Structure 1
Amino acid sequence: MSTNNQSMQIIEPLEFGKYYHIYNRGINSENIFKENRNHEYFLTLYNKHINPIAETFAWCLLKNHFHLLVRIKTSEEILQNQQENGSKKIIAPYQSFGNLFNAYTKAINKGYNRHGALFERSFKRKLIDNEYYLRSVIKYIHYNPVNHGFCQHPIEYPWSSYLTCVSEKPTKLKREKVISIFENIEGLKISHSKNEQFDSLERFLNL
């Protein structure tokens, strides 16, 4: 199989109503989050561009890459949200993510006197089609900082959704659904207290 065919294999369309693991890294592994205010600004842009078209179940921002787990809303859900906000135009989910990454790239380029692309050409995405895979990806995303040596437990890392999962603060994260996937909050905490290898998942993701 050619390299081009392999590259095509990992590209999934973003279909309404389906779950996706979305991830990307800086071009040539460049850091895309250089300081805390970068994480904060990315999340601000995420709230603007992605929350209207997707529900978020997990996320993690590291120095040179990120992971997101989302459910793309149905076209009816998106249209209802748009109408409530005075707009009748539905932007394609892929374009919403493109708008997020383009806006963030422009801000980083302006703020750090750089030019050109910040991310690898096309963000990667994998369809999640069963609850076992959904559970595995949630834990994989939360454990990314541990596996990259930034901390020893997900609760120690400030730029992921794990802290939100174990808190009671208001959030747009689908926290109750995430907790239910692990049966209850104690089940989530116990699962996340056990480190594990994600080699097979990373091979599947082509990381």
Structure 2
Amino acid sequence: MPARNRTKQYLEDSYYHIYNRGVEKRAIFLDQQDYNVFLNYLKEYLTPKDERSLINQLSDPNVPWEEKDKTIKLLRLNNFTEEITFLAYCLMPNHFHFFVKQKSIQSIDKFMNSLGTRYTMYFNKKYRRVGSLYQGVYKAVSLDNDE
């Protein structure tokens, strides 16, 4: 039998409480930089891209190559502005909570997969570790029912 809140049967235009914690209840944010990186990832995923401005940076000869490299990465990065409405969040040392509205059935899965993988790669590189950061797959509870 699947763990509670792990089997995800999403609905369009529905509200969800999403949460996850560190493997073995370990901290997933060890210092302020970790919180800042995680929040920056959220911002990059959930803020509309100004693609015209980013493309202009690439063609500007005065922009250093390092900045152009960052711009290319931003252009390639998934953006979930049209798919996820982020309503609230809480980041604790060993876990997080999000309240979101998803607009299509696959939005949360794509968003959480991208965010989780990206932050795990950052964390593992920074702290010279390997393996899972989270205790299993994130959990999601529908807020549209009386549970």
TM-score when scaled to structure 1? 0.49
Question: Structure 1 residue 121 and structure 2 residue 136: aligned?
Answer: yes
Q: 2:110 aligns with which of 78, 89, 95?
A: 95
Equivalent position of 1:67 in the other structure: 97
Give the superposition deviation at 1:74: 4.3
Equivalent position of 1:55 in the other structure: 85
Give the letter aligned to residue 100 of structure 2: V
Equivalent position of 2:126 in the other structure: 111
The SS at the match of 2:86 is: strand
**Pairs aligned (count):** 112
Does structure 2 retain, via aligned residues, the 8 Å contact 1:21–1:67? yes
Equivalent position of 2:38 in the other structure: 42
Does structure 2 retain, via aligned residues, the 8 Å contact 1:56–1:68? yes
Equivalent position of 2:60 in the other structure: none
Q: 1:29 aligns with which of 25, 32, 39?
A: 25
> Per the alignment, do residues 14 and 47 of structure 1 end up closer, same or farther by CA in structure 2, a change over 3 Å counting?
farther
Q: 1:16 aligns with which of 12, 15, 26?
A: 12
Give the superposition deviation at 1:92: 4.2
Larger strand percent: 2
Structure with more contact order per residue of length (Cα contacts < 8 Å, sep ≥ 6): 2
Deviations along 1:130-160, one digit per CA (max 9) or x if unpaired, are 5xx7xxxxxxxxxxxxxxxxxxxxxxxxxxx
2:107 and 2:18 map into 1 onto residues whose CA distance is 16
Give the superposition deviation at 1:45: 1.1
Give the superposition deviation at 1:120: 1.4
After superposing on structure 2, the runs of 4+ consecutive aligned residues of structure 1 that deviate more than 3 Å are none
1:17 and 1:43 map into 2 onto residues whose CA distance is 24
Supply the RMSD in Å over aligned alpha carbons. Answer: 2.1
TM-score when scaled to structure 2? 0.68
> Per the alignment, do residues 41 and 20 of structure 1 end up closer, same or farther by CA in structure 2, a change over 3 Å counting?
same
1:30 and 1:115 map into 2 onto residues whose CA distance is 14
Where in structure 2 are there 5+ consecutive unaligned residues?
47-79
